[in-house]
Structures are given as structure tokens and as C-alpha cells.
């Protein structure tokens, strides 16, 4: 593709984001590419639990509903391409459902499916070959929890997405890829950049980082939230990239929210360790090099991005079984509500101890009395608080007993206990997170194509 400018809009920042956002963005955004970013570490664990119950699941099911709504618009905007990591742990099933939707709407499209991120089937072979997949923080080898591992996925980069675009894919469905790579890929493909053009790759990676969380760069979660107009109709972001690496962050002009230097720089530093070395699979980007320029009537231009060669490793997201969790809450109202809520938590713990079912971990917090941000504000004594109690243990039976001890407080605790009418809280299996590194040479990617 030969062009001077492309517009990449991101209509989803996580699985659970607004279902209307991608539709409104395509309607209003004059896009060349729509990206939909569904995956986080927590999401991978949720998908693993779903796939455990049903082998046909393990992908972001919201995407299928979104695609169904996008199809009439896509018919009128035939040159639009969609790139999404909605495939999660099961890109095949996600693509099958997507093809059903496309065929029902009579759209002739090519779907590219990126594979290779899922290394769970190869895990034992990799360990035997000497790849320890040690925990990035503790250094502990993966063998310590290998028997409990339920998924292991590499954060792939933009290369296989570019390959799919080169082969005519209109819709690219991936598993786990780095968030920013969803934007890097269309830029590399559209502009014909080299994989060693580090400054341009860094520019696209920064653009991808800025739009990956959806409305966070257009006024959502903004410090000066009082200044943000019409958050109910907040516009989702557009990265308008040029071939020289300069880009602009914009939003549809007829939408709410705002794009200013302040909203952009807050998102720029979101989830960043070293701003001078933001590591992606495609490039190491230097955020300290960029300059932000306010545009009229609205928007921000970003210039002078600098990049360094990519590392020789991929990050790996691994989830493993780690016991059981349960949490519940009640409202405690009236005079001395804080003290009564603390007594309720103590009663539950003492009754569990008496029953021989005290959880290994037990946590109580008084929402409304300052516990959600401990130490930030002075302790207060309100006339109502929400007591939230949570527990963890290796044994499910301990948590099942814990779940039975909240409701009895309505009649056997202090006065003012209310708000408990939803039944016993559910006991859930816990999947813990294990970050690791693996040499890129040990990972092979593949792109397959299905046509409607």
C-alpha cells in the first residue's frame, strides 16, 4: 500500500468496554483501520477458565456482537480493515464465528488468523530444551508451578499482522500480541517501513500505546475530569500517522471528551516503567524524546520519536491454578457504623476459626471510611459503610464455609446490618499470573487465511 497518511482508530480498550464505541467510531471517524484491543493479563485468566469449561470458548465473545453491528457500515466503507486480538486463547473459534457473521451479511472478506503465541502445547519441550521461563520478578523457574499451568502465551509483535495484510486480509484476528503492535502493523504495511527503521517504529508504537486504552486518551480517567465535556458520548481515539513518523491523536469532531496535551501526556505515562525504554516486541521506544504540540480546534501532534533496536526476547504471559477466592459485602448503617462493621468482620473470622475453616488469607475493608485508598485521607466515621470481606485458601471447602457466614450477621450481628439480598457469594478458582521471557528464536508464528 502506498499512501502518505493513515487513520487508525481504536474502538475498544479492554474486554468489557462500551459496545457502541466501535460503531460510533467507524460512523464518524473516516478510518482506514479499526483496532479492537480486548486482552489483559486478567482477561487471559478469564478466557482460560472459559476454555476449561467449553473447548469452543476462550475468545472475547463481545467481538462477535460488535462485528455484527459493524457489518452494515463495513459494506459502505469497503476499504476499512479491522485488526483485533479478540482471538484470545482460541483464534480459530473466534474466526469461525466471525465468518458466520460476515456470510450472513453477504460480505466478501478475507480473514487472516495469527497463530503461534500459544506455547502451552510446547511447554514441556521448551523446559527440557533449557528454557527455564523464570519468573521475571522472583527468578523462580516455571517448573515450580508447571503442573498447575493453564495457559502460556507469548506477546507477539506486528510482523505476522503485516504478513496477513500483505496477503489481502480485511480482518485480522490474533491471540496475544502486544497492544501497541495493533497500530504498528498497519503503519509498517501502509508506508513500507523497514523493520530496522527504529525511529518510525517507535513513533507507531507510541501512537499505539496512546490509543490502546480507548477513551483514556480522550478524557476518560482524566485528572481534571470536571473539564471534560459530555463523557456520556466520549469520542474514542484516532491516530493519524504520516510516513515520516509524525502522528496526531484526534477524535471524531462531533463526539464528547477532549484531546489535549494533558490528556495525552497522562496516557503516555500510563503503565510505563522506564519512559526512556518502553519495550515492545517491535522496538524499544524512548518516550522522553517526543514533543507534544496542541492543534486547533482540538488534537495533539506528536513529533521526534526515537527508537532503539528491539530485544531478542518475547514476554510470556502464563496463568496457573492458585487456590480459591470468595468475596462478599454488606451495608452497615447507623451510629458507629465503622465500629460495627469492624465487629462484623471479626465475628466472621472468629466463627470460621471455631469451625476449623479459617482461610489462609482474610481481608476486610470498610468502603466509605477510607479503606479503598488507605493512608491517603484521614479516617472518618460515616453513618453508613460497605463492609467488603474477601478470603483465599488452597481448599475450596474452606471458602464454601466462608460464603455461608455473611448472611447470618443480618440477625446475629450488631444492629444496622442490611443490603444482603443477593444470596451467598460464589467461590471461584484463582488463576495467578507468571510473567517470563523467551528468546524470539524459540517462537514460530503462522498466518492462515479463510475467505467468506
For the chain, the domains span 5-117+155-311, 322-434
pLDDT of residue 182: 98
**Which helix (H) or strand (E) covers residue 293, if one does?**
strand 291-294
Instruction: Mean pLDDT check: name the lowest of 43-52, 64-73, 233-242, 347-356.
Output: 43-52
Helix, coil or strand: residue 169: coil
Q: What is the pLDDT of residues 146-159, one digit of tens each?
A: 999 999 999 999 99
State the greatest distance between any 2 C-alpha atoms of the chain, in Å, as a whole number.
Answer: 73
Q: Provide the CATH topology of domain 322-434.
A: Alpha-Beta Plaits (3.30.70)
Mean of pLDDT values over 341-355? 98
Residue 279's pLDDT band, with cuts at 50, 70 and 90, is: very high
Share of the chain above pLDDT 90, in %: 94
Most confident range (mean pLDDT) of 3-7, 377-381, 435-439 is 435-439
- How many C-beta atoms lie closer than 10 Å to residue 293's C-beta? 12
Average pLDDT over residues 358-383: 89
Contacts of 12 (CB under 8 A, 6+ apart): 21, 22, 35, 36, 37, 38, 62, 66, 84, 214
Mean pLDDT on 171-199: 98
**Candidate from 11-20, 42-51, 340-349 with smallest mean pLDDT:** 42-51
- Is pLDDT at 380 greater than 80 in this prediction? no
Share of the chain above pLDDT 70, in %: 99
Helix (H) or strand (E) holding 431: strand 428-439
Confirm if 61 and 36 have CB atoms less than 8 A apart. Answer: no
Residue 87 half-sphere exposure toward CB, CA atoms < 13 A: 26
Give 281-315 pLDDT, tens digit per residue: 999 999 999 999 999 999 999 999 999 999 999 99
Confidence class for position 41, pLDDT limits 50, 70, 90: confident
CB proximity list for 20: less than 8 A, separation 6 or greater: none
Angle between helices 181-191 and 159-166 (to 10 degrees): 40
| Average pLDDT, rounded, for the chain | 96
Contact indicator for 389, 363 with CB cutoff of 8 Å: yes
Rounded to the nearest 5 degrees, what angle is found at the Cα of 100, between the Cα atoms of 40 and 37? Answer: 20
- Give the contacts of 350 (CB within 8 A, at least 6 positions apart): none
Strands 238-242 and 284-286: unpaired
Q: Mind listing the pLDDT tens digit for each residue in 187-233?
A: 999 999 999 999 999 999 999 999 999 999 999 999 999 999 999 99
Report residue 48 as a C-alpha cell. 482460560
Tell how far CA 298 is from the center of its chain. 27
pLDDT (tens digit per residue) in 315-328: 999 999 999 999 99
Query: What integer pLDDT is reported at residue 372 of this predicted model?
Result: 86
For residues 356-376, average pLDDT = 92
Q: Specify the pLDDT at position 2.
A: 55
pLDDT at position 421 is 67
Q: Is residue 185 pLDDT above 90, yes or no?
A: yes
How much is the average pLDDT of 102-116? Answer: 98
Q: Which of 348, 330, 331, 346 is nearest to 383 (CA)?
A: 331
Q: How far apart are CA 64 and CA 99, in angstroms?
A: 10
* The pLDDT of residue 1: 57
User: Rounded to whole angstroms, how far apart are CA atoms 169 and 171?
Assistant: 5
Angle subtended by helix axes 396-404 and 337-354, to nearest 10: 130
Q: How confident is the model at residue 355 (pLDDT cuts 50, 70, 90)?
A: very high
- Report if pTM > 0.75: yes
Amino acid at each position: 500500500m502506498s499512501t502518505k497518511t493513515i487513520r487508525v482508530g481504536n474502538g475498544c480498550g479492554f474486554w468489557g468496554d462500551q459496545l457502541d464505541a466501535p460503531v460510533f467510531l467507524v460512523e464518524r471517524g473516516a478510518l482506514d483501520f479499526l483496532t479492537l484491543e480486548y486482552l489483559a493479563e486478567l482477561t487471559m485468566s478469564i478466557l482460560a477458565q472459559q476454555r476449561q469449561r467449553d473447548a469452543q470458548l476462550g475468545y472475547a465473545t463481545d467481538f462477535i456482537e460488535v462485528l455484527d453491528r459493524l457489518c452494515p457500515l463495513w459494506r459502505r466503507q469497503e476499504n476499512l480493515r479491522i485488526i483485533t486480538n479478540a482471538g484470545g486463547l482460541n483464534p480459530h473459534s473466534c474466526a469461525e464465528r466471525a465468518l458466520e457473521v460476515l456470510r450472513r451479511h453477504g460480505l466478501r472478506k478475507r480473514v487472516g488468523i495469527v497463530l503461534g503465541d500459544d506455547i502451552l502445547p510446547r511447554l514441556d519441550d521448551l523446559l527440557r530444551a533449557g528454557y527455564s521461563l523464570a519468573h521475571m520478578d522472583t527468578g523462580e523457574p516455571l517448573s515450580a508451578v508447571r503442573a498447575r499451568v493453564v495457559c502460556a502465551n507469548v506477546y507477539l509483535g506486528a510482523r505476522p499482522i503485516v504478513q496477513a495484510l500483505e496477503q489481502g486480509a480485511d480482518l485480522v484476528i490474533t491471540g496475544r500480541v502486544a497492544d501497541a503492535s495493533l497500530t504498528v502493523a498497519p503503519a509498517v504495511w501502509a508506508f513500507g517501513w523497514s523493520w530496522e527503521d527504529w525511529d518510525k517504529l517507535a513513533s507507531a508504537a507510541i501512537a499505539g500505546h496512546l490509543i490502546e486504552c480507548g477513551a483514556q486518551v480522550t478524557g476518560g480517567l482524566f485528572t481534571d475530569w470536571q473539564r471534560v465535556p459530555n463523557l456520556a458520548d466520549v469520542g474514542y481515539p484516532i491516530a493519524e500517522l504520516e510516513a515520516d513518523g509524525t502522528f496526531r491523536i484526534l477524535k471524531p469532531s462531533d463526539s464528547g471528551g477532549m484531546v489535549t496535551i494533558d490528556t495525552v501526556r497522562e496516557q503516555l505515562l500510563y503503565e510505563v516503567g522506564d519512559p526512556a525504554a518502553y519495550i515492545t516486541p517491535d522496538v524499544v521506544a524512548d518516550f522522553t524524546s517526543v514533543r507534544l504540540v496542541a492543534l486547533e480546534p482540538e488534537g495533539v501532534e506528536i513529533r521526534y520519536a526515537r527508537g532503539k533496536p528491539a530485544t531478542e526476547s518475547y514476554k510470556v504471559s502464563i496463568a496457573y491454578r492458585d487456590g480459591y477466592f470468595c468475596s462478599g459485602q454488606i451495608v452497615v448503617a447507623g451510629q458507629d457504623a465503622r465500629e460495627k462493621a469492624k465487629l462484623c468482620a471479626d465475628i466472621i473470622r472468629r466463627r470460621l476459626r471455631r469451625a476449623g475453616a479459617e482461610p489462609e488469607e482474610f481481608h476486610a475493608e470498610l468502603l466509605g471510611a477510607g479503606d479503598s485508598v488507605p493512608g491517603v485521607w484521614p479516617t472518618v466515621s460515616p453513618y453508613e459503610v460497605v463492609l467488603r470481606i474477601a478470603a483465599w485458601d488452597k481448599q475450596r471447602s474452606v471458602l464454601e464455609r466462608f460464603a455461608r457466614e455473611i448472611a447470618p450477621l443480618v440477625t446475629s450481628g450488631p444492629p444496622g446490618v442490611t443490603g444482603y439480598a443477593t444470596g451467598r457469594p460464589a467461590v471461584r478458582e484463582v488463576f495467578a499470573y507468571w510473567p517470563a521471557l523467551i528468546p524470539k528464536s524459540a517462537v514460530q508464528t503462522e498466518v492462515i487465511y479463510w475467505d467468506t
